[in-house]
Structure 1
Amino acid sequence: MMKRILIVDDHAVVRFGLRQFLADTGDLEITAEAASGAEALALVHKGDWDLVLLDMALPDLNGLEVLKRIKRVRPEMPVLIFSMFSEAEFAIPALDAGASGYLNKDSPPHQMLTAIRTVVDGARYVSPTLAEKLLSGLASAGPRPPHEALSKREMEVLLLLSKGVSLTKIGETLFVSVKTVSTYRSRILEKLGVQSNAELTRYVMEHKLD
Protein backbone atom coordinates (compact mmCIF):
# COMPACT_ATOMS: atom_id res chain seq x y z
CA MET A 1 0.00 0.00 0.00
CA MET A 2 1.36 3.42 -0.99
CA LYS A 3 2.36 5.59 1.97
CA ARG A 4 1.26 9.23 1.71
CA ILE A 5 3.79 11.91 2.65
CA LEU A 6 3.40 15.63 3.31
CA ILE A 7 6.64 17.54 2.69
CA VAL A 8 7.17 20.93 4.36
CA ASP A 9 10.07 22.89 2.85
CA ASP A 10 10.28 26.44 1.50
CA HIS A 11 12.63 25.46 -1.33
CA ALA A 12 10.73 24.31 -4.41
CA VAL A 13 13.80 22.52 -5.79
CA VAL A 14 14.04 20.40 -2.62
CA ARG A 15 10.35 19.45 -2.81
CA PHE A 16 10.68 18.60 -6.51
CA GLY A 17 13.83 16.55 -5.97
CA LEU A 18 12.24 14.51 -3.19
CA ARG A 19 9.08 13.98 -5.19
CA GLN A 20 11.15 12.59 -8.08
CA PHE A 21 13.33 10.52 -5.75
CA LEU A 22 10.40 8.86 -3.98
CA ALA A 23 8.45 8.35 -7.21
CA ASP A 24 10.81 5.46 -8.03
CA THR A 25 10.26 3.61 -4.74
CA GLY A 26 6.85 2.11 -5.43
CA ASP A 27 5.76 2.39 -1.78
CA LEU A 28 6.27 6.08 -0.92
CA GLU A 29 4.58 9.08 -2.49
CA ILE A 30 4.56 12.82 -1.74
CA THR A 31 0.88 13.69 -1.98
CA ALA A 32 0.98 17.22 -0.55
CA GLU A 33 3.47 20.07 -0.21
CA ALA A 34 3.76 23.13 2.02
CA ALA A 35 6.25 26.00 1.73
CA SER A 36 5.62 27.47 5.20
CA GLY A 37 4.65 26.50 8.72
CA ALA A 38 1.20 28.03 8.34
CA GLU A 39 0.51 26.03 5.14
CA ALA A 40 1.71 22.86 6.84
CA LEU A 41 -0.55 23.33 9.86
CA ALA A 42 -3.56 24.05 7.63
CA LEU A 43 -2.94 20.81 5.73
CA VAL A 44 -2.44 18.81 8.91
CA HIS A 45 -5.76 20.08 10.27
CA LYS A 46 -7.74 18.94 7.25
CA GLY A 47 -5.83 15.94 5.88
CA ASP A 48 -4.20 12.70 6.92
CA TRP A 49 -0.70 11.53 6.07
CA ASP A 50 1.45 8.56 6.94
CA LEU A 51 4.41 10.91 7.43
CA VAL A 52 5.23 14.62 7.63
CA LEU A 53 8.70 15.41 6.30
CA LEU A 54 9.49 18.72 7.99
CA ASP A 55 12.30 21.22 7.42
CA MET A 56 13.57 23.22 10.42
CA ALA A 57 14.14 26.51 8.57
CA LEU A 58 10.82 27.94 7.40
CA PRO A 59 9.99 31.56 6.48
CA ASP A 60 7.30 32.13 9.11
CA LEU A 61 7.66 29.67 12.03
CA ASN A 62 10.67 27.65 13.07
CA GLY A 63 10.36 23.94 12.47
CA LEU A 64 10.38 23.06 16.13
CA GLU A 65 7.35 25.27 16.73
CA VAL A 66 5.55 23.68 13.76
CA LEU A 67 6.41 20.23 15.13
CA LYS A 68 4.95 21.08 18.55
CA ARG A 69 1.73 22.41 17.01
CA ILE A 70 1.36 19.34 14.79
CA LYS A 71 1.76 17.11 17.83
CA ARG A 72 -0.87 19.08 19.74
CA VAL A 73 -3.54 18.51 17.08
CA ARG A 74 -2.36 15.19 15.58
CA PRO A 75 -0.19 13.45 18.20
CA GLU A 76 -0.34 10.17 16.28
CA MET A 77 1.00 11.62 13.01
CA PRO A 78 4.71 10.72 12.53
CA VAL A 79 7.04 13.66 11.83
CA LEU A 80 10.54 13.20 10.44
CA ILE A 81 12.75 16.30 10.58
CA PHE A 82 14.65 16.82 7.32
CA SER A 83 17.10 19.67 7.76
CA MET A 84 20.47 21.23 6.96
CA PHE A 85 20.87 22.19 10.62
CA SER A 86 23.46 20.26 12.60
CA GLU A 87 22.13 16.96 13.89
CA ALA A 88 24.36 17.26 16.96
CA GLU A 89 22.65 20.55 17.92
CA PHE A 90 19.04 20.06 16.89
CA ALA A 91 18.20 16.35 16.84
CA ILE A 92 17.75 16.03 20.62
CA PRO A 93 15.38 19.05 20.94
CA ALA A 94 13.38 17.73 17.96
CA LEU A 95 13.10 14.23 19.39
CA ASP A 96 12.14 15.66 22.78
CA ALA A 97 9.39 17.70 21.09
CA GLY A 98 7.85 14.60 19.52
CA ALA A 99 9.70 14.03 16.25
CA SER A 100 10.01 10.40 15.21
CA GLY A 101 13.45 11.02 13.74
CA TYR A 102 16.00 13.52 12.49
CA LEU A 103 17.56 13.32 9.04
CA ASN A 104 20.22 15.63 7.65
CA LYS A 105 19.74 16.79 4.06
CA ASP A 106 23.29 15.69 3.31
CA SER A 107 22.40 12.07 4.08
CA PRO A 108 22.98 9.52 1.28
CA PRO A 109 19.87 8.25 -0.57
CA HIS A 110 19.84 4.82 1.10
CA GLN A 111 19.88 6.46 4.53
CA MET A 112 16.97 8.74 3.54
CA LEU A 113 14.89 5.74 2.50
CA THR A 114 15.79 3.85 5.67
CA ALA A 115 14.77 6.82 7.83
CA ILE A 116 11.50 7.43 5.99
CA ARG A 117 10.47 3.77 5.99
CA THR A 118 11.45 3.33 9.64
CA VAL A 119 9.27 6.24 10.72
CA VAL A 120 6.37 5.33 8.42
CA ASP A 121 6.38 1.86 10.00
CA GLY A 122 5.88 3.41 13.43
CA ALA A 123 9.42 3.29 14.81
CA ARG A 124 11.84 6.09 15.69
CA TYR A 125 14.86 6.79 13.53
CA VAL A 126 18.24 7.88 14.89
CA SER A 127 21.24 8.00 12.57
CA PRO A 128 24.24 5.81 13.40
CA THR A 129 26.29 8.96 14.11
CA LEU A 130 23.77 10.36 16.59
CA ALA A 131 23.22 6.96 18.20
CA GLU A 132 26.96 6.73 18.85
CA LYS A 133 27.00 10.23 20.41
CA LEU A 134 24.03 9.41 22.61
CA LEU A 135 25.66 6.22 23.82
CA SER A 136 28.92 8.01 24.58
CA GLY A 137 27.17 10.87 26.33
CA LEU A 138 28.49 13.53 23.95
CA ALA A 139 25.00 14.89 23.32
CA SER A 140 24.62 16.05 26.91
CA ALA A 141 24.52 19.72 27.83
CA GLY A 142 27.76 21.69 28.16
CA PRO A 143 28.61 24.59 30.49
CA ARG A 144 26.05 27.12 31.75
CA PRO A 145 24.42 28.72 28.69
CA PRO A 146 24.35 32.51 28.02
CA HIS A 147 20.53 32.72 28.21
CA GLU A 148 20.70 32.25 31.98
CA ALA A 149 21.90 35.88 32.09
CA LEU A 150 18.62 37.13 30.57
CA SER A 151 15.97 38.80 32.68
CA LYS A 152 12.43 37.40 32.73
CA ARG A 153 11.24 40.12 30.33
CA GLU A 154 14.20 39.59 28.00
CA MET A 155 13.38 35.88 27.91
CA GLU A 156 9.77 36.69 26.97
CA VAL A 157 10.97 38.91 24.12
CA LEU A 158 13.46 36.27 22.99
CA LEU A 159 10.76 33.58 22.72
CA LEU A 160 8.42 35.87 20.80
CA LEU A 161 11.18 36.93 18.40
CA SER A 162 12.07 33.27 17.80
CA LYS A 163 8.48 32.63 16.68
CA GLY A 164 8.68 35.42 14.09
CA VAL A 165 6.51 37.91 16.00
CA SER A 166 7.12 41.52 14.90
CA LEU A 167 8.50 44.18 17.25
CA THR A 168 5.18 46.06 17.03
CA LYS A 169 3.17 42.98 17.98
CA ILE A 170 5.57 42.15 20.83
CA GLY A 171 5.10 45.69 22.14
CA GLU A 172 1.32 45.28 22.05
CA THR A 173 1.54 41.88 23.77
CA LEU A 174 3.82 43.09 26.57
CA PHE A 175 2.29 46.59 26.81
CA VAL A 176 5.55 48.41 26.07
CA SER A 177 6.70 50.66 23.21
CA VAL A 178 8.35 49.39 20.05
CA LYS A 179 11.46 51.34 21.08
CA THR A 180 11.58 49.42 24.37
CA VAL A 181 11.21 46.11 22.55
CA SER A 182 14.04 47.14 20.23
CA THR A 183 16.21 47.88 23.26
CA TYR A 184 15.41 44.46 24.73
CA ARG A 185 16.31 42.85 21.40
CA SER A 186 19.69 44.63 21.33
CA ARG A 187 20.47 43.46 24.86
CA ILE A 188 19.45 39.89 24.03
CA LEU A 189 21.64 39.82 20.92
CA GLU A 190 24.58 41.08 22.95
CA LYS A 191 24.10 38.67 25.85
CA LEU A 192 23.69 35.65 23.60
CA GLY A 193 26.50 36.68 21.26
CA VAL A 194 24.34 36.49 18.12
CA GLN A 195 23.60 39.00 15.37
CA SER A 196 20.19 38.30 13.86
CA ASN A 197 16.68 37.00 14.54
CA ALA A 198 17.55 33.84 12.60
CA GLU A 199 20.42 33.18 14.99
CA LEU A 200 18.12 33.89 17.95
CA THR A 201 15.70 31.28 16.62
CA ARG A 202 18.50 28.79 16.19
CA TYR A 203 19.64 29.46 19.76
CA VAL A 204 16.13 28.90 21.14
CA MET A 205 15.82 25.62 19.24
CA GLU A 206 19.27 24.44 20.28
CA HIS A 207 18.64 25.07 23.98
CA LYS A 208 15.00 23.87 23.98
CA LEU A 209 13.82 27.13 25.53
CA ASP A 210 10.28 27.00 24.17
Structure 2
Amino acid sequence: MGIDMNINKIRVSLVDNDVIVLRALSVILKRMIPEIEILWCASSGSMALKYFADYHICPEIILVDMSMEDLSGVEVCRVLRRKSDKIKILAMTAFSVTEFASDASDAGVQGIVNKADTAVLRDMIISLHRNNYLAMNYMSIKFKNPFEANQQVLMEGKNIHVDKLTDREIEILNICLKGYTLKEAAKLLHISESTAKTHMRNSISKLGVRNKVQAIAKWGSIYAKKF
Protein backbone atom coordinates (compact mmCIF):
# COMPACT_ATOMS: atom_id res chain seq x y z
CA MET A 1 0.00 0.00 0.00
CA GLY A 2 1.17 3.58 -0.58
CA ILE A 3 2.77 5.38 2.33
CA ASP A 4 2.82 9.13 2.87
CA MET A 5 6.39 9.75 3.90
CA ASN A 6 5.66 13.25 5.20
CA ILE A 7 6.14 12.16 8.80
CA ASN A 8 8.28 13.24 11.73
CA LYS A 9 11.50 11.61 12.85
CA ILE A 10 10.95 8.06 14.11
CA ARG A 11 13.44 6.94 16.77
CA VAL A 12 13.82 3.17 16.67
CA SER A 13 15.95 0.54 18.43
CA LEU A 14 16.54 -3.03 17.23
CA VAL A 15 16.98 -6.24 19.22
CA ASP A 16 18.05 -9.45 17.45
CA ASN A 17 20.67 -12.03 18.40
CA ASP A 18 21.87 -12.21 14.79
CA VAL A 19 24.25 -9.29 14.20
CA ILE A 20 23.98 -9.74 10.43
CA VAL A 21 20.21 -9.32 10.65
CA LEU A 22 20.68 -6.22 12.81
CA ARG A 23 22.93 -4.64 10.21
CA ALA A 24 20.64 -5.60 7.35
CA LEU A 25 17.53 -4.29 9.10
CA SER A 26 19.27 -1.01 9.89
CA VAL A 27 20.18 -0.50 6.24
CA ILE A 28 16.79 -1.58 4.90
CA LEU A 29 14.77 0.53 7.32
CA LYS A 30 16.86 3.63 6.67
CA ARG A 31 16.32 3.15 2.95
CA MET A 32 12.57 2.51 3.23
CA ILE A 33 11.85 5.17 5.86
CA PRO A 34 14.19 8.14 5.38
CA GLU A 35 12.87 9.77 8.58
CA ILE A 36 13.94 6.83 10.74
CA GLU A 37 16.76 7.17 13.27
CA ILE A 38 18.30 3.98 14.69
CA LEU A 39 19.29 4.85 18.26
CA TRP A 40 20.93 1.54 19.15
CA CYS A 41 21.06 -2.15 18.23
CA ALA A 42 21.35 -4.99 20.76
CA SER A 43 22.37 -8.56 20.00
CA SER A 44 21.03 -10.03 23.25
CA GLY A 45 18.12 -9.50 25.59
CA SER A 46 20.32 -8.49 28.52
CA MET A 47 22.17 -5.99 26.31
CA ALA A 48 18.84 -4.50 25.18
CA LEU A 49 17.70 -3.99 28.77
CA LYS A 50 21.02 -2.36 29.67
CA TYR A 51 20.88 -0.02 26.67
CA PHE A 52 17.29 0.87 27.48
CA ALA A 53 18.26 1.74 31.06
CA ASP A 54 21.47 3.62 30.21
CA TYR A 55 20.77 5.39 26.94
CA HIS A 56 19.99 9.09 27.40
CA ILE A 57 17.37 9.16 24.62
CA CYS A 58 14.44 6.74 24.75
CA PRO A 59 13.34 5.20 21.44
CA GLU A 60 9.76 5.64 20.34
CA ILE A 61 9.63 2.09 18.96
CA ILE A 62 11.66 -1.00 19.88
CA LEU A 63 11.71 -3.98 17.51
CA VAL A 64 12.37 -7.24 19.37
CA ASP A 65 13.07 -10.64 17.82
CA MET A 66 11.16 -13.42 19.56
CA SER A 67 13.93 -16.02 19.30
CA MET A 68 16.63 -14.67 21.60
CA GLU A 69 19.19 -16.88 23.33
CA ASP A 70 19.86 -15.45 26.80
CA LEU A 71 16.35 -14.17 27.54
CA SER A 72 13.44 -14.99 25.29
CA GLY A 73 12.08 -12.17 23.16
CA VAL A 74 8.78 -12.47 25.00
CA GLU A 75 10.45 -11.88 28.35
CA VAL A 76 12.50 -8.98 27.00
CA CYS A 77 9.24 -7.38 25.84
CA ARG A 78 7.62 -8.01 29.20
CA VAL A 79 10.48 -6.34 31.09
CA LEU A 80 10.45 -3.34 28.74
CA ARG A 81 6.68 -3.02 29.08
CA ARG A 82 6.85 -3.12 32.87
CA LYS A 83 9.38 -0.30 32.75
CA SER A 84 7.47 1.96 30.36
CA ASP A 85 3.90 2.83 29.47
CA LYS A 86 5.04 4.97 26.53
CA ILE A 87 7.43 3.04 24.27
CA LYS A 88 5.88 1.06 21.44
CA ILE A 89 7.12 -2.50 21.06
CA LEU A 90 6.95 -4.41 17.80
CA ALA A 91 7.70 -8.13 17.99
CA MET A 92 9.53 -9.77 15.08
CA THR A 93 10.01 -13.37 14.06
CA ALA A 94 11.53 -15.36 11.23
CA PHE A 95 9.04 -18.13 11.97
CA SER A 96 5.26 -18.28 12.01
CA VAL A 97 3.69 -15.10 13.39
CA THR A 98 0.84 -17.24 14.72
CA GLU A 99 3.28 -19.17 16.93
CA PHE A 100 4.24 -16.06 18.92
CA ALA A 101 1.31 -13.67 18.51
CA SER A 102 -0.59 -14.59 21.67
CA ASP A 103 2.46 -14.65 23.96
CA ALA A 104 3.66 -11.38 22.45
CA SER A 105 0.31 -9.74 23.14
CA ASP A 106 0.40 -10.97 26.74
CA ALA A 107 3.90 -9.47 27.08
CA GLY A 108 2.56 -6.04 26.19
CA VAL A 109 3.70 -5.51 22.60
CA GLN A 110 1.76 -3.43 20.09
CA GLY A 111 2.10 -5.78 17.13
CA ILE A 112 4.02 -8.64 15.54
CA VAL A 113 5.50 -9.10 12.08
CA ASN A 114 7.55 -11.57 10.07
CA LYS A 115 10.83 -9.71 9.76
CA ALA A 116 11.41 -11.04 6.24
CA ASP A 117 8.36 -9.09 5.05
CA THR A 118 10.04 -5.69 4.99
CA ALA A 119 7.13 -3.91 3.30
CA VAL A 120 4.77 -4.91 6.11
CA LEU A 121 7.46 -4.10 8.66
CA ARG A 122 7.73 -0.58 7.21
CA ASP A 123 3.95 -0.10 7.26
CA MET A 124 3.67 -1.31 10.86
CA ILE A 125 6.42 1.01 12.07
CA ILE A 126 4.67 3.96 10.47
CA SER A 127 1.29 2.85 11.86
CA LEU A 128 2.79 2.72 15.35
CA HIS A 129 4.36 6.13 14.87
CA ARG A 130 0.88 7.44 14.04
CA ASN A 131 -0.65 5.66 17.06
CA ASN A 132 -2.80 3.54 14.76
CA TYR A 133 -3.02 0.47 17.00
CA LEU A 134 -6.07 -1.02 15.28
CA ALA A 135 -3.89 -1.70 12.24
CA MET A 136 -1.75 -4.00 14.38
CA ASN A 137 -4.40 -6.56 15.34
CA TYR A 138 -3.71 -10.07 14.07
CA MET A 139 -6.60 -12.47 13.44
CA SER A 140 -8.49 -12.68 16.76
CA ILE A 141 -5.59 -11.24 18.77
CA LYS A 142 -5.87 -7.59 19.74
CA PHE A 143 -2.85 -5.58 20.80
CA LYS A 144 -3.23 -2.87 23.42
CA ASN A 145 -1.74 0.60 23.34
CA PRO A 146 1.40 1.09 25.50
CA PHE A 147 -0.45 2.45 28.55
CA GLU A 148 -3.08 -0.31 28.61
CA ALA A 149 -0.41 -2.95 27.94
CA ASN A 150 1.69 -1.61 30.81
CA GLN A 151 -1.26 -1.89 33.19
CA GLN A 152 -1.93 -5.44 31.97
CA VAL A 153 1.63 -6.59 32.58
CA LEU A 154 1.83 -4.88 35.97
CA MET A 155 -1.33 -6.69 37.04
CA GLU A 156 0.30 -10.04 36.28
CA GLY A 157 2.43 -9.82 39.38
CA LYS A 158 -0.35 -9.16 41.84
CA ASN A 159 -1.22 -12.82 42.34
CA ILE A 160 2.39 -13.96 42.61
CA HIS A 161 3.54 -14.74 46.14
CA VAL A 162 7.02 -13.30 45.69
CA ASP A 163 7.01 -12.16 49.30
CA LYS A 164 6.87 -15.82 50.33
CA LEU A 165 10.06 -16.75 48.49
CA THR A 166 12.87 -17.63 50.87
CA ASP A 167 16.34 -16.09 50.61
CA ARG A 168 17.68 -19.42 49.34
CA GLU A 169 14.99 -19.69 46.67
CA ILE A 170 15.83 -16.19 45.50
CA GLU A 171 19.54 -17.03 45.42
CA ILE A 172 18.89 -20.04 43.22
CA LEU A 173 16.61 -18.11 40.90
CA ASN A 174 19.20 -15.37 40.51
CA ILE A 175 21.96 -17.88 39.75
CA CYS A 176 19.81 -19.72 37.19
CA LEU A 177 18.86 -16.40 35.63
CA LYS A 178 22.54 -15.96 34.76
CA GLY A 179 22.45 -19.20 32.75
CA TYR A 180 23.67 -21.71 35.34
CA THR A 181 22.02 -25.11 35.74
CA LEU A 182 20.49 -26.25 39.02
CA LYS A 183 23.45 -28.59 39.50
CA GLU A 184 25.84 -25.67 39.09
CA ALA A 185 23.73 -23.49 41.38
CA ALA A 186 23.86 -26.20 44.05
CA LYS A 187 27.64 -26.36 43.78
CA LEU A 188 27.99 -22.59 44.06
CA LEU A 189 25.78 -22.54 47.15
CA HIS A 190 27.39 -25.67 48.67
CA ILE A 191 24.12 -27.59 48.86
CA SER A 192 23.02 -30.87 47.30
CA GLU A 193 21.39 -30.93 43.88
CA SER A 194 18.27 -32.53 45.35
CA THR A 195 17.98 -29.64 47.83
CA ALA A 196 18.32 -27.15 44.98
CA LYS A 197 15.57 -28.98 43.08
CA THR A 198 13.31 -28.78 46.14
CA HIS A 199 13.87 -25.02 46.37
CA MET A 200 13.09 -24.67 42.67
CA ARG A 201 9.86 -26.66 43.00
CA ASN A 202 8.80 -24.35 45.82
CA SER A 203 9.64 -21.33 43.67
CA ILE A 204 7.59 -22.70 40.77
CA SER A 205 4.58 -23.00 43.05
CA LYS A 206 4.98 -19.55 44.59
CA LEU A 207 5.51 -17.83 41.24
CA GLY A 208 2.39 -19.45 39.80
CA VAL A 209 4.11 -21.08 36.81
CA ARG A 210 4.39 -24.61 35.45
CA ASN A 211 8.08 -25.37 35.24
CA LYS A 212 11.66 -24.24 35.94
CA VAL A 213 12.07 -22.34 32.68
CA GLN A 214 8.92 -20.32 33.31
CA ALA A 215 9.95 -19.66 36.92
CA ILE A 216 13.33 -18.27 35.85
CA ALA A 217 11.75 -16.19 33.09
CA LYS A 218 9.05 -14.84 35.42
CA TRP A 219 11.59 -13.95 38.08
CA GLY A 220 13.81 -12.27 35.52
CA SER A 221 11.03 -10.27 33.91
CA ILE A 222 9.47 -8.96 37.10
CA TYR A 223 11.67 -9.12 40.15
CA ALA A 224 15.33 -9.78 39.38
CA LYS A 225 17.53 -6.99 40.72
CA LYS A 226 19.72 -6.91 37.62
CA PHE A 227 16.75 -5.47 35.69
With structure 1 as the length reference, what TM-score do the two structures score? 0.63
Could you say what secondary structure the match of 1:81 adopts? strand
Q: Distance in 2 between matches of 1:175 and 1:103?
A: 46
Q: Does 1:7 align with 2:21?
A: no
CA RMSD of aligned residues (A): 3.5
CA contact 1:79–1:101 (8 Å) conserved in 2: yes
Runs of 5+ unmatched residues, structure 1: 136-155, 183-196, 206-210
- AA partner of residue 34 (structure 1): A
- AA partner of residue 21 (structure 2): V
Runs of 5+ unmatched residues, structure 2: 1-7, 143-168, 198-211, 219-227
Q: Does 1:126 align with 2:141?
A: no
1:120-145 per-position Cα deviation (integer Å, ceiling 9, x unaligned): 22233536xx32x559xxxxxxxxxx
- Seen in structure 2, the aligned counterparts of structure 1 residues 49 and 93 have a Cα distance that, compared at 3 Å, is same
Paired position in structure 2 for 1:152? none
Q: Distance in 2 between matches of 1:103 and 1:42?
A: 24
Aligned residues: 163
Following superposition, the deviation at residue 95 of structure 1 comes to 1.1
1:39-87 per-position Cα deviation (integer Å, ceiling 9, x unaligned): 1001111230011010112221011111111112122111100112322
Q: Does 1:32 align with 2:32?
A: no
Q: Distance in 2 between matches of 1:122 and 1:9?
A: 24
1:10-42 per-position Cα deviation (integer Å, ceiling 9, x unaligned): 111111111111222212122211011111001
- Seen in structure 2, the aligned counterparts of structure 1 residues 115 and 173 have a Cα distance that, compared at 3 Å, is farther
Paired position in structure 2 for 1:193? none
CA contact 2:13–2:38 (8 Å) conserved in 1: yes
Q: Does 1:61 align with 2:71?
A: yes
Structure 1 stretch 81-90 or stretch 64-73: which is displaced more? 81-90
CA contact 2:102–2:141 (8 Å) conserved in 1: no
1:166 to 153, 158, 180: 180
Q: Distance in 2 between matches of 1:81 and 1:35?
A: 15
CA contact 1:22–1:29 (8 Å) conserved in 2: no
With structure 2 as the length reference, what TM-score do the two structures score? 0.59
Q: Distance in 2 between matches of 1:122 and 1:86?
A: 25
1:106-162 per-position Cα deviation (integer Å, ceiling 9, x unaligned): 32x2211111111222233536xx32x559xxxxxxxxxxxxxxxxxxxx9xxx7x9
Could you say what secondary structure the match of 2:136 adopts? coil
Q: Distance in 1 between matches of 2:35 and 2:141?
A: 31
- Seen in structure 2, the aligned counterparts of structure 1 residues 100 and 176 have a Cα distance that, compared at 3 Å, is farther
Q: Does 1:71 align with 2:81?
A: yes
- AA partner of residue 72 (structure 1): R
CA contact 2:64–2:73 (8 Å) conserved in 1: yes
- AA partner of residue 102 (structure 1): I
Q: Distance in 1 between matches of 2:181 and 2:195?
A: 9
2:97 to 87, 90, 95: 87
Q: Distance in 2 between matches of 1:78 and 1:98?
A: 9
- Seen in structure 2, the aligned counterparts of structure 1 residues 92 and 19 have a Cα distance that, compared at 3 Å, is same
Q: Distance in 1 between matches of 2:64 and 2:122?
A: 15
CA contact 1:100–1:123 (8 Å) conserved in 2: no
- Seen in structure 2, the aligned counterparts of structure 1 residues 178 and 43 have a Cα distance that, compared at 3 Å, is same
